[in-house]
Amino acid sequence: MPEGKTRKKRIKKPVIDLLPELLVKALARHDDFIVTCETDPDTSAKKIHIISGKFVTPCMLRKLMGQAESQREEGSSVVSRKWV
In whole angstroms, what is the distance from residue 79 CA to residue 48 CA?
21
What is the residue type of 5?
K
pLDDT digits (tens, 9 = 90+) for 52-67: 999 999 999 999 999 9
What's this model's pTM, rounded to 2 decimal places? 0.74
Cross-strand bridge partners of residue 39: 46
82 vs 5, higher pLDDT: 82
Where in the chain are the domains? 15-74
What integer pLDDT is reported at residue 25 of this predicted model?
A: 96
pLDDT digits (tens, 9 = 90+) for 7-53: 777 778 899 999 999 999 999 999 999 999 999 999 999 999 999 99
With a cut of 90, say whether residue 1 has pLDDT above it. Answer: no
